[in-house]
Amino acid sequence: MPAILRRTLDDGAATPVAAAAPERATLSPSTRPSPGLSASLNALADTLAPGGPLRACINLGNPILAHRRADGSVGGVSVDLATELARRIGRPLQTVVVEAAGTSVETVRADGADVGFFAIDPLRGQGIGFTGPYVLIEGAWLVREDSPLRDGAEVDRAAHRVVVGRGSAYDLYLTRELKAATILRAATSPTVVDTFLAEGAEVAAGVRQQLEADAARWGGLRLLPGHFMVIRQAMGLPAGRGPAAAAALADFVEEMKASGFVAEALRRHGIDGAAVAPAGGRP
């Protein structure tokens, strides 16, 4: 798995910054691009990227989808998809890099980027047009090795404090679903376990692969069996771009799944435990 970006804990959201475009992905889809989709994307280039370059918001808070390379550039499945979309519409790619999911949502909603990569959630639907999901990721629980908790069904109790990443899909979900436990919010998803340990909380919640990496890094931690949700990762664009642009982006995602592009990207980046979403699955 690519190296996970670590940041000092703070109370504020990360500020989007423009980054140099990554090198073009070398993935070769196993099927030819649909002529109809290619024509639609070309016709909508000025709608999808009205400022010239395609500005793609890349969230480093989810290491399954994006990471920073040793040279400072960004890579990952979401960067590969953005690179391919920019190629299809004949525009250069400009990455807008943020550290947290909530910041990514607000950036695209405010027209600070042309496309973004998010987990689908009802609260995020305002101002953003989502595609169907391209990747499915499990949300899991983490506890200390000596914790009496043995099952996820035991988490939602008044004595338990659950740490989540502020504004993440599982923050939104657990805020709705947990009735007794108290939610504590870390600044970003990669800092959930650090916050969990610093606060002496009872449970940490997050993306399974992130929690597994942190458990290995710290020691003395374990994941509870199973998962509390399946996170559906999708692409999205500002809702004001219109239904034609939203439909073309949704069709692009479907083609990237069907062609094997997404599966190859997961393999190439060494991502285990994430699955390519099935065909369709509109939000």
The string of pLDDT tens digits covering residues 155-174 is: 999 999 999 999 888 999 99
Could you give the CA distance from residue 188 to residue 169 in angstroms, rounded to a whole number?
A: 12
pLDDT for 11 equals 28
Question: pLDDT higher for 32 or 134?
Answer: 134
The CATH class for the domain spanning 17-136+231-276 reads alpha beta
**Model confidence at 94: pLDDT above 70:** yes
Whole-structure pTM value: 0.77
pLDDT for 282 equals 59
| CATH 3.40.190.10 intervals, the chain | 17-136+231-276, 138-229
Q: Once rounded to an integer, what is the mean pLDDT over residues 139-166?
A: 97
Read off the pLDDT band of 281 (50, 70, 90): low
Q: Which of 245, 47, 247, 239 minimizes the C-alpha distance to 127?
A: 239
Tokens of 270: 């060494």
Q: What is the CATH number of domain 138-229?
A: 3.40.190.10
Read off the pLDDT band of 273 (50, 70, 90): confident
Q: Which of 18-27, 73-82, 140-149, 200-209 has the lowest mean pLDDT?
A: 18-27
